[in-house]
Structure 1
Amino acid sequence: MSTGDISRRSALWGGGAVAAGAAMAMLPGVAFAAPGPGGGPVTKTVTGTFTPDIPDWYYLPVDVPRGVSRVDVVYSYDRPQVPGGVRGNACDIGMFGPEGHQLGNERGFRGWSGGFRDRFSISASEATPGYLPGPITPGRWHVILGPYTVAPQGLRYRVDITLTFGPPGPAFRPDPAPETAPARQRGASWYRGDSHLHTVHSDGKRTPAELVAAARAAKLDFIVSTEHNTPSASLQWGGHATDDLLILNGEEVTTRSGHWPAIGLPAGKWIDWRYRASDPVQFRRFVDQVHRHGGLVTAAHPFANCFGCTYEYAYELADLVEVWNGPWTEEDQAAVIHWDGLLRGGRWIPAIGDSDAHTPDHTVGLPHTVVRADGLARKDLLAGLKAGHSWLAESADVSLEFTVTDGTRTAGIGERLPAGTGTPVTVKAVVGGVPGTTVTFLDQLGPEHTETVPASGTATVTWTTYPRYSRWVRAEVRRPSGGPKTTVPNAMVAMTNPIFLGQERFPRADS
């Protein structure tokens, strides 16, 4: 069966709840009939061509009869040569069940693998990573195709849908991660965590067990699983959890206008991603959904140099800004500069650092965030992150304490010292495990005081300022020669969120 050439002028949906947020279109569907006695699996094939001028999402209706025990989908597309600087073909894929595929319809979502897999399978008992096991309910299912980039020659695709008939098999039983990690619980303390990580449940190469092993080797207290556009991993972490690593659930909401990890979600919770920054109403809708579930929104790798990766949404709706993503690069430097600019302008959104590790070559915990929390629990960790009681480190070998005092009162990271404008304030950083680095104190005017750390890697650095001159202060530790897995000079080793000085109240400064 061929759908022919598909362009923006064919079968576009205009308006309505389904079309809200991004351009969508419907492809001609396929219908299956139940086979006769003794009949085996039945396959139908759909082919067609996408032209460059097309919407973001296409839906291929599949009418599934009763008695189906498994659905298999295989797809492929051509990759013609394109000149340098011209984008070639890339196409994502996923699946919605007969409960519906309207924007935000969580009941209908059955899985997503983006462009990482060329096939998937769903049954009552199991599913390909990224997809959700469950009953194969009769009705109209939809394969979703997302032409990510399309070459000038067009994108020729093929989709093979196979239905297998028979008994459904035993029901899948979710096994989410436990809510505690007693061996790491220290009560009110500082906890190290990496809140942006991937496994084979999206485009990562590590299994869940391998990711847990890497996180434990990095001496982390907690991690957040953030697969692209799917909660499938969150239903299976229990089989890989240990008593010395807390595993939180999340989703990297991966849109055509940037990525925003929703962290701290309940197991199995799904957040939709089918909209762009040009529709701020839908973005706010799903940000509000994350907050209702008790989670936080992260503006991920804001200056990542790949199509659809750069964060284009409103920063004021984000709870956190990921200013450091993986080994230090110029993209991270741009993110810190932008974040610092927001801070100077009176808008504080706490900074966070994550490894975004996908493969065994990516170091889990490079970087990570060290957060002060009342305990090693989801609610406490998220509260500490949102309040900005945190600092960023390249590894667990790095230690840092950062405070300000007026001789009577002391404030820590993310707090405010309400000293008078003419009161001298002592800024103090105590660092360890950072040989070959410099410690710099910054305020709204930029770098104010810098000292070199001796070969021992430990140092205590102090500086005196006044609230009249410094509205806030923060600390950076940098290595002029670069850092792990980077040759970029002046690489970040550690950085803090600010401490605020004086009576002026910044947004969130007193949270």
Structure 2
Amino acid sequence: MCEDHDIRRRALFVTGAAAALTLGSVSFASGATTPTATQEKKTVRGTFPTGSPDFVYLPLDIPGGVSEIHVAYTYDKPAVPAGTQGNALDIGIFDERGTDLGGRGFRGWSGGARSEFFIRADDATPGYIPGPIREGTWHIALGPYTVAPQGLTYEVAITLTYDEPGETPKPVYPPERAKGRGRAWYRGDCHLHSWYSDGRRTPAEIAALARAAGLDFINTSEHNTHAAHAHWADQAGDDLLILLGEEVTTRNGHVVALGTDPGTFVDWRYRARDNRFGKYAREIRRAGGLVVPAHPHATCIGCNWKFGFGDADVVEVWNGPYTPDDEVSLADWDSMLVASVRSGRAWIPAMGNSDAHRDPDPVGTPQTVVLADDLTREAILDGLRAGRSYVAESKSVSLAFTASGSRGEHAGIGERLPVDPDAPVTVRLEVTGAPGCTVRFVTDQGGLFTSPALPASGSGTAEWRTTASYAAYVRAEVRHAPVVTGLPGPLAAFTNPVFLGR
């Protein structure tokens, strides 16, 4: 049976002020009325014009006795002129508990990564949450991400299976502690994607790559779903701490919920103009996690960060292989440091992550190296929050960055050196694993020191003298040779700042 659900322009004119639209219900009459039936299928077709809402909900009246919901969908992808966006349609589902923002009804999301999914009590497609198929009104969530000028014609096929339900497994989560080295520098990659969203790697493959990259910890960050949380426990070990999170992927930017409590779901169905992000940032913190705007100047649609940084705990300045948008993010972050010292407000530390999805994306390029009291969830998050960290392109690169005063005062990355304004300060960076790179010291006035190129061994030391009245902070960069004449070379590493003065 097929039903048409076209959204006409007149309907959009009436409902266009809302971020979402609900279509007419699809009813299934089997179950109690025809107990001999094992399956029932219905197909819905429709067209989205340009200017469609961000989310369109298709209600499904699910009867009793259903053991599985299977959904498959297709949509047209017409040719469009150069510079014009084509069609892209995301999909997910909410159960009978509803579609309210932040509610309990969420049962899965695959965005545009899959053309079909299923949910049963005992199993579900990666990205979806297994559990009981209860009677009531469920909603398929369709997200017309971009719509071509010709419109977006879609077809959704829903198949219900009637049978005895399976048993829902009890989730098992990774431990919050690994065998650390006490207070030490630990390496991590906190932005990774598996096949539980739009990645192509299994958790086992990612864990193996993380170990090969010299990582001590990772954080799961699937797009708009926490479905992977219960599938990482087998990959944790004494040598690898696995934190749990989500990449909250809105239409106005992405944010990594880093190190949240197991099973935490963070909603993403809002834009900056809706003034809702602060609420969900607080939810991330209540769940024990950090709020980390991701790739804030990325150029992909919906990736550029538009919520401001007032609710951020850390900002992802370096995302994947170093590119011009990372250079813009670095400059933007440095401007935020200047604003913080001028106003006396708290500063926001920086980090870097790989955002690896599939081969050949390298895991651990870059990686954040954090000084933590131990290899535990709490200690790692404390170190990141305090900015006791630097970012390196690989396990080969190590830094030791300090500032010292003439009376024995000493401060490291993320700390403050309490000296008088005109007291002499010596800034020192020790580098290993960066052959041919140069060291650059950057302050609130800009870059004030650049070293000669490091030798072929990749090891060296750079020193610079200043005062707190001349430099409110100093941070270090290690850069490769320039690719374009007149522009700085790609980063090999950079540190969070050391602040100078009382």
Q: Secondary structure at the match of 2:128?
A: coil
Matches within 5 A, 1:355-434: 355-407=354-406, 408-434=408-434
TM-superposed CA distance for 1:14, in Å, is 6.9
1:104: which partner in 2?
Answer: 102
Separation of aligned partners in 1, 2:13 and 2:258: 34
Query: Which sections of structure 1, spanning at least 5 residues, go unmatched?
Result: 504-511
Q: State the match for 2:286 in structure 1.
A: 292
Alignment map for 1:74-153 (pairs within 5 Å): 74-105=72-103, 107-153=104-150
Partner of residue 244 from structure 1, selected from 219, 225, 239: 239
> Are 2:207 and 1:212 equivalent residues in the alignment?
yes
Residue type of the alignment partner of 1:420? D
Aligned partner letter, 1:41: Q
The amino acid that maps onto 2:471 is S
Identity %: 53
**1:34 positional shift:** 2.3
Match of 2:490 in 1: 491
Aligned to 2:299: 305
Determine helix, strand or coil for the equivalent of 2:333: helix
Q: Name the amino acid aligned to 1:377.
A: T
Please state whether the residue corresponding to 1:335 is helix, strand or coil: helix
| SS of corresponding position for 2:244 | strand
Q: Is 1:75–1:159's contact at 8 Å kept on the other side of the alignment?
A: yes
- Do the aligned partners of 1:8 and 1:55 also contact (CA within 8 Å) in 2? no
Structure 1's consecutive aligned runs of 4 or more residues displaced over 4 angstroms after TM superposition are: 11-15
Distance in structure 2 (CA, Å) of the matches to 1:476 and 1:425: 19
Could you tell me how far 1:2 is from its partner in structure 2? 3.3
- TM-score where L is the length of structure 2: 0.95
Q: Deviations over 1:380-415 (max 9, x none)?
A: 111110111100000011010000000311000011
Deviations 1:20-40 (A, max 9, x none): xx6100011101122423212
Contact kept in structure 2, 1:3 and 1:28, CA below 8 Å: no
Per-residue CA deviation, residues 55-79 of structure 1 (Å, 9 max, x unaligned), is 1000000011111000000011000
* One-letter identity of the residue aligned with 1:50: F
1:374 Cα deviation from its structure 2 partner: 1.0
**1:342-361 paired onto structure 2 within 5 Å:** 342-346=336-340, 348-361=347-360
Task: Tell me what 1:6 maps to.
Answer: 7
Equivalent position of 1:507 in the other structure = none
Alpha-carbon shift at residue 8 of structure 1 (Å): 6.1
For 1:151-300, list aligned pairs within 5 A.
151-182=148-179, 185-280=180-275, 282-300=276-294
Provide the C-alpha distance between the structure 2 equivalents of 1:396 and 1:302, rounded to a whole number of angstroms. 25
How far apart are the structure 2 equivalents of 1:12 and 1:30?
24
2:72, 2:157 within 8 Å by CA — same for their partners in 1? yes
Indicate conservation of the 8 Å contact 1:201/1:232, yes or no: yes
Give the 3 Å change call, closer, same or farther, for CA 500–7 of structure 1 in structure 2. Answer: farther
Equivalent position SS for 2:272: coil
Equivalent in the alignment of 2:19 = 23
Residue number in structure 1 paired with 2:63: 65
Match of 2:414, SS?
Answer: coil
SS at match of 1:384: helix
Unaligned runs of 5+ in 2: none
Q: Is the 8 A contact 2:5 2:44 kept in 1?
A: no
1:12: how far off?
A: 8.2
For this pair of structures, how many residues does the alignment match? 490
User: Which of 318, 321, 342 is the equivalent residue of 1:324?
Assistant: 318
Rate the CA distance shift 1:482–1:258 in 2: closer, same or farther, 3 A: same
Spell out, residue by residue over 1:146-200, the C-alpha distance to the aligned partner (whole angstroms, 9 max, x if none). Answer: 0000000000000001100010012222121122222xx1111111000100000
**Structure 1 length normalisation: TM-score?**
0.93
The one-letter code sitting in structure 2 at the alignment partner of 1:110 is R
